[in-house]
A and B are shown apart, each in its own frame.
Chain A
Amino acid sequence: MSDQNNIKTPKRGNMGGGGMGRGPGGPAGMMPGEKPKDFKGSLKKLARYLSAYKISLFFVLIFAVASTIFMIVGPKILGNATTALFEGVMNMIADNGKGIDFDYIGQILLLLLGLYVIAALFSYIQGYIMTGVSMKVTYQLRRNIFAKINRLPFKYFDKTSYGEVLSFLTNDIETVNQTLNQSVTQIITSVATLVGILIMMFSISWQMTIVALLIVPISFVIVVNIVKKSQPHFSEQQTYLGHINGHVEEMYSGHNVVKAFNGEESSFETFDHYNTTLYSSAWKSQFLSGLMMPMMTFIGNLGYVAVCILGGYLAVNGRLSVGDIQAFIQYVRQFTQPIMQIANISNILQQTTAAAERVFTFLDEEEEVSESTTAFDLATVSGSVDFDHVNFGYNPDKTVIKDFSAHIKEGQKIAIVGPTGAGKTTIVKLLMRFYDVESGAILVDGHNIKDFSRGDLRSLFGMVLQDTWLYNASIRDNIKYGRLDATDAEVEAAAIAAQVDYFVHTLPDGYNMFLNEEASNVSQGQKQLLTIARAILADPKILILDEATSSVDTRTEVLIQKAMDNLMEGRTSFVIAHRLSTIKNADLILVMNEGDIVEQGNHFDLLAANGFYAKLYNSQFEKAEEQENELVHDLPNSESIIS
């Protein structure tokens, strides 16, 4: 449990924490993207997830395509108006009395107005539906992930940090959401636009279309080249940004140490080195990626000029109308955008699939072994516990608890002792079935704990750990967490027993005071007391306590001790002991070292055995002893303890 707080959000590619854009630094596609392991499989899974929204998606497709079509025919029809206008002008020049046909032009414009209204409406409807779909999918995915957390075995969290899980729920889901919300529509409209524009262009003039199409491979080559050139700089920029962030974080967190050891100069030198490299990669990557836009504009202009020249030539020969040139110019200008977007699709798809893959892998993780139902009356359980030849290891190849047997009678105190990192919480985890034993059995009142439903089994236990977990809610709600259906009177009774009541009344809103996000508006000791109150309210048959109360001032510590004593009264208790008095009064001491139970027995038996416990005990006891002999001699066995 020493790794309780290792929440670190892993940095992954260019996915910034939410927001609207696809991360800072540059346009998507510049960053070396991450690739999914099983692209097809994960994509299929995502598709299956979306299949529930088949009808909605179908409408999205229809409306998107329809809106695009209406949008695309616009310039061509508008071209007719321009042509009519142009011819009208020629008539005026020639003064043949025909003039400009305003009726016709007016009709065209009205028709276009209608088209544009419909296009906008369709586009909006399409966006409206798609947003709904993506939000529903996101909601569902988040919900599933959260529910999954509660169904995963603890084993899973041995290899996956909380930060990673958190990242599934935030970064990855956000990526999927953005893709659904923007990219899906973009893909549809880009393809529709491209095809539509091509058709329209061909319908105007095949010669000009071919000229316009020539710009596609040119722009493609340029895009690819720019990306290829700038990608190393982007990577370097990311790396050095990471270095700088890391260095700054490290130096600022260790500010006192840096100062105390006069390390400012060397720290600055390191920083300056990173900073200089960052500068050069930053401007290069920014410059190169910034080339994309002007380059594409230039290519667009090339096409534009080519169309103007060729169009002018064709118009002179009467093979093309002025309106067509105008329409064609508009098409050429719109042409590059969908190309860029389509070029980007594979990148987005890969990012999304990689994100979705992580989410699905998480959702597919093996869950806790299915529940059994408790076949007997829980109320009759009195609290005796038997360990029957228990074997257990976190890894199959490393057994940490070997053939452990013990019989604990109802109401007994069991002290678990051992140096830091000895695995004292392993027993606790086994008792509460956070982990299952490999072989052997743990029995509560003679029933194998596997024969309880997990919920029922855990309801027998009350737990007060060193890591005082509280959540962002009122003090009352936090105590109530022990038993959600408790009345206020019961909550307050528990609070009184846990020595909480007196300090609650000194707080601004009393029981209704909200704990802030870090729960830092109550002291560490008060937190400990609250967790005790919570356990008292739960009124468990068996208790699990961690005595360690470091960084708590003396007076609070006395209160905590008192509250714990209240709590243990008449209950079977497993105590991760730090106090000599607790250890000495225990009915059974389990001595742990390096994850293994090395000895068991009561205080005097163990001392007599002169084994690990005796050494451990002496190392603490010696201080008292040593003090007497301080000036006389060193303890003869001190060396052996050190080793």
Chain B
Amino acid sequence: MIKLSRYLKPYLGVLFITLALLFVQAISDLNLPNYMSDIVNVGIQQNGIEHATPEAISEDGYALMTTFMSAADQQTLADDYLLMSPDDTANPDYQATLEKFPALQTESIYVQTDTSAETFETLDPIFGSATWTFINYMRSLDTSATDSSSTANATDLDFTEIYQALPMLTQLPPATFDEAREQAAQTPESMQVQTAVQFTKQFYTELGVDVGAIQNLYILKIGAIMLLLSLIAILAAIGVGFFSARTAAGVSQSLRRDVFRKVQSFSNTEFDKFSTASLITRNTNDITQIQTMLIMGIRILCYSPILAIGGIIMALRRTTSMGWIIVVAVLAIIVIIGVVFAIAMPRFKLIQKLVDKLNLVTRESLTGLMVVRAFGNQKFEENRFDAVNQDTTANNLFVNRVMVFMMPTMMFIMNGVTLLVVWVGAQQIAASAMQVGDMMAFMQYTMQIIFSFLMMSMMFIMIPRAAVSGDRIQEVLAVKPSIVDPASPKKLPMNAQTTLAFDHVSFRYEGAEEDVLHDINFVANPGETTAFIGSTGSGKSTLINLIPRFFDVTSGAVKIDGIDVREVTQHDLREKIGYIPQKGVLFSGTVASNLKYGDPLANETDLAIAAQVAQATDFIESSQDGFEREIAQGGSNVSGGQKQRLSIARALVRKPDIYIFDDSFSALDYKTDVALRRALKEYTGNSTVLIVAQRINTIMHAEQIIVLDHGRIVGQGTHHELLKNCTTYQEIASSQLSEEELNI
């Protein structure tokens, strides 16, 4: 799996961009709850007024607030505020200030000179403290009078009344308020500031400001930012989708191509090692798996941790005291998923097996339709099926009920966490450790974090599967083909008179303990037929597979006109050979395209003659389309016998120097077999013909018959000679031929 990561190399840049986009997306997504929180905290709770420090304040208000400040704070304030009078039209800020605070028209007001974030940071607590000192002082006066007013809102004070008392208050020595100020320090700073904001709202109202408009403007402003963030998030997401899709599709394209190329270079040794079906799966399904995994991997596996970590940071920035809730939630989720899968996984595997079994029994019943009915065993089959069916159903029921448990439990955990956040959050809010909006944002972050972990756990189920596919692909790619072209190839003579020789050839399959072929020695001459016969497993097919180098000899040499086949290129070698496989193999296309596979340059006459010789003309002409008749994939719309004839015709079109018939007449009936061989004899002319056969009839006229038994040549000669002196040949003959035939 890891080794396949080299396929990602060309996409490193793109991956980097994708990762960056994911960050952008995550940051945008994560900031939304932040702004939502601002809407609640500032927009609603503080009427859109962000700071406790008023940007402008009436002279009375200024006097009132400074009265309740310490001397140092008064000084700080004096540095930051400027008294602007209605006549100050020369001041460059005058017009702007007038617009914001219409009261300037008629009275002098204090205007904040520096509106940087730092100033607010220093001034807000000062105003907060002043506000609470004021409230506490007033309350101390009130309690001495009546108790009833304690339920009245401190923020609903009528300032005009207080302003009247202002001269009196300013007369009081500053020490008067010390007690109130100490008391105020007990109230948490954020609470002081929030209350101060309410005062600021009053001050603004005094100056003729439309506070409602400020609030609406603030909400709209935050809303616009949120929209912008959403837009950024979606653009990033689209970018991620685009790049991840291209990367995944691109990687799988290269993988598919490389695997295909590799497999094409395989010899039969490698094919046997993997099996054809497995190679097909590795080239198709396994790669699709990787593609899906890549897309999901980039979109989810990379995104989830970013989102989770970001969420945790954001949440903890709101408040660290509730961090444990996130831990609890995530742990709960992981435990639940872990338990559910621990219970369900083994059953999943079992179910897969049972489904296979269900298929098997049905398949058996279908292929054995006749046998089942012939023996009247329908009931038996039904019971056999029912046993598997019940087993499957029971296991499915169990697994599904376990899985059904998951969803409600997950939902419950999430809802439970919400409740927990509200309860714990309420305590925190009461302790002024945070605001309501923070709690709401925290809730959403927690959900985001839980979702991220859910996603990640899903990916961890997916990854092992894809890893298996990846390993299977890598296995193919890592193979070094055992048969390669020589570094400096020789040329085969083009004389159309080819002598083929096996020179003490032995062959052993890789990893096998015994040789399949021992010390094979023979010469096949041009213009002659050399036939091979022997029981199954005697090594006939293996022997002829050595000629086109489907396998390489273990020792000895296969020589064409004296040149070792390993000393020429595979291409040149095979140009000389017409090979007809045991099972007729056709490719999708038409009859003509299949025949032309032998020689792309063949003309219609060539095809017609080849078809005629191969006894395929009847079949071809039986369709209106003739040579243009469609051949389905693998030749599935053509019978076995027809496939063989067309495979033969294909080799004939090639007009090679060497013909190899690997038991290519087995699906033909006797009549066709005879006719075909007769026509062949004439057509092949000076070529060297090699025939592997099961039936003696097929080969009894060969110039040379080689009898194989357990990989050794046990007889060599003509039919007549062998009948006399080869016991193996006699055995075969007696089982296949009638007495009369044998006695001739």
| In contact, B362 and A248 (Cβ under 8 angstroms) | no
Give B130 Cβ to nearest chain A Cβ, in Å.
15
In the bound complex, do residue A469 and residue B368 qualify as a contact, i.e. CB atoms below 8 Å apart?
yes
- With a cutoff of 8 Å between Cβ atoms, the chain A residues found around residue B639 in the complex are 2, 420-421
Bits for B557-580, please: 1 = Cβ < 8 Å to A, else 0: 000000000000011001101110
Query: Is A622 a contact partner of B674 (Cβ separation < 8 A)?
Result: yes
Q: B669 near A78 (CB under 8 angstroms)?
A: no
Contacts of B586 in A (CB 8 A): 254
- Judge if A628 is at the interface, Cβ distance under 8 Å: yes
Tell me the nearest residue of chain A to B668, going by C-beta: A420
Q: CB distance B233 to A298 under 8 Å?
A: yes
Q: Which 10 pairs, one residue from A and one from B, show the smallest C-beta to C-beta distance? A: A127-B404, A294-B237, A553-B535, A260-B579, A283-B249, A94-B153, A287-B245, A309-B223, A301-B230, A290-B241
Contact sample, A vs B, 8 pairs, CB 8 Å cutoff: A93-B194, A142-B358, A166-B359, A286-B291, A301-B226, A463-B371, A471-B361, A581-B739
Q: Which residues of B contact A263 (CB under 8 A)?
A: 597
Give every chain B residue within 8 A of A78 (Cβ-Cβ). Answer: 418-419, 422
Does A580 lie at the interface of the complex (its beta carbon under 8 Å from any beta carbon of B)? yes
- Which of A44-52, A130-138, A212-220 forms contacts with chain B? A130-138
The interface stretch among B74-82, B97-105, B307-315, B394-402 is B394-402
A325 at the interface (CB under 8 A from B): yes
Q: A256-B581, A316-B47, A622-B674 are in contact. Are A287 and B242 (CB under 8 A)?
A: yes
- Per the bound structure, the CA–CA distance linking A162 and B367 in Å amounts to 8
Q: Does A363 contact B (CB under 8 A)?
A: no
Q: How many of A's residues come within 8 Å of B, CB to CB?
A: 178
* Residues of chain A within 8 A of B640, CB atoms compared: 2
Complex interface bits, A246-288 against B, C-beta within 8 A gives 1, otherwise 0: 1011111111111111111001100110011011101110110
CA distance A533 to B260 in the complex (A): 46
Q: Which residues of A contact B237 (CB under 8 A)?
A: 293-294, 297-298
| Known interface pairs A420-B667, A627-B744; A286-B245 also in contact (CB < 8 Å) | yes
Q: Which of B154, B230, B248, B548 contacts A283 (CB 8 A)?
A: B248
B156 in contact (CB, < 8 A): yes
Q: Could you say which residues of chain A place their CB within 8 Å of the CB of B719? A: 627
By the criterion CB–CB under 8 Å, are B436 and A135 in contact? Answer: no
Q: Is B697 located at the chain interface by the 8 A CB criterion? A: yes
A61 to B226 alpha-carbon distance, docked (Å): 40
Compute how far the CA of A37 lies from the CA of B265 in the bound complex, rounded to whole angstroms.
Answer: 48
Which B residues lie within 8 Å of A294 (CB)?
Answer: 233-234, 237-238, 241
- In the bound complex, residues from chain B placing their C-beta under 8 Å from that of A127 are 401, 404-405, 407-408
A261 touching B375, Cβ below 8 Å: no
| Contact assessment for B32 and A268 in the assembled complex, using a CB-CB cutoff below 8 Å | no
Q: Are B675 and A641 in contact (CB under 8 A)?
A: yes
A54-96 vs B, Cβ < 8 Å mask (1 yes, 0 no): 0000000000000100010010001001100110111011111
Please determine whether B227 and A302 come into contact, CB atoms closer than 8 angstroms. yes
Provide the residues of chain A in CB contact with B375, threshold 8 Å: 458-459, 481-483, 534, 538
Known: A95-B154, A551-B536. 17 other contacts (CB 8 A): A2-B640, A78-B422, A86-B436, A96-B151, A128-B404, A150-B378, A162-B363, A244-B256, A245-B280, A245-B284, A262-B575, A275-B256, A305-B227, A322-B45, A421-B641, A623-B700, A623-B701
A283 and B250 contacting across the interface, CB-CB below 8 Å: yes
Within 8 Å CB of B349, what residues of A?
none
Bound CA–CA A595/B668 (angstroms): 17
Q: Please, how many angstroms separate the alpha-carbon atoms of A340 and B713 in the complex? A: 73
Nearest CB to that of B212 among chain A residues? Answer: A316
Q: Are A18 and B355 in contact (CB under 8 A)?
A: yes
CA gap between A309 and B217 in the complex, in Å: 10
CB distance from B45 to the nearest CB of A (A): 7
**Would you call A506 an interface residue if the criterion is a C-beta within 8 Å of the partner chain's C-beta atoms?**
no
What residue of chain A has the Cβ atom nearest to residue B670's Cβ? A620
B390 interface hit (Cβ, 8 Å): yes
Question: Contact mask B407-448 → A, CB, 8 Å, 1/0?
Answer: 111011001101100110111011010011001100000000
* B350 contacts the other chain (CB 8 A): no
Closest to B243 in A: A287
A96 CB to nearest B CB, Å: 5
A206 at the interface (CB under 8 A from B): no
Contact between B241 and A308, CB atoms less than 8 A apart = no
Nearest-CB residue, chain B, relative to A317: B212
Evaluate contact between B355 and A102: CB separation under 8 angstroms.
Answer: no
Residue contact A271 to B641, C-beta cutoff 8 Å: no
Determine how close the nearest CB of chain A comes to the CB of B531; give it in whole angstroms: 14
Are A255 and B436 touching (Cβ within 8 A)?
no
Instruction: Evaluate whether A82 and B227 lie within 8 angstroms (CB atoms) in the complex, with A100-B430, A257-B579, A298-B234 already known.
Output: no
Asked whether A113 is an interface residue with its Cβ less than 8 Å from the other chain, the reply is: yes
Q: Distance (Å) between the CB of A67 and the closest chain B CB?
A: 8
A308, B36: Cβ atoms closer than 8 Å:
yes
Choose, from B112-120, B160-168, B379-387, B507-515, the stretch at the interface: B379-387
In the complex the two chains form, is A131's CB within 8 Å of B400's CB?
A: yes
Surface stretch bound by B, among A115-123, A347-355, A492-500 = A115-123
Q: Are A170 and B358 interface neighbours, CB within 8 A? A: yes
From A194-202, A400-408, A554-562, A564-572, give the one contacting chain B.
Answer: A554-562
Contact A309 B536 (CB under 8 A): no
| Among B436, B548, B588, contact of A250 (Cβ-Cβ < 8 Å) | B588
Q: Could you say which of A98, A325, A326, A517 contacts B360, with CB atoms under 8 Å apart?
A: A517
A287/B246 in contact, CB under 8 A: yes
B641–A181 CB distance below 8 A: no
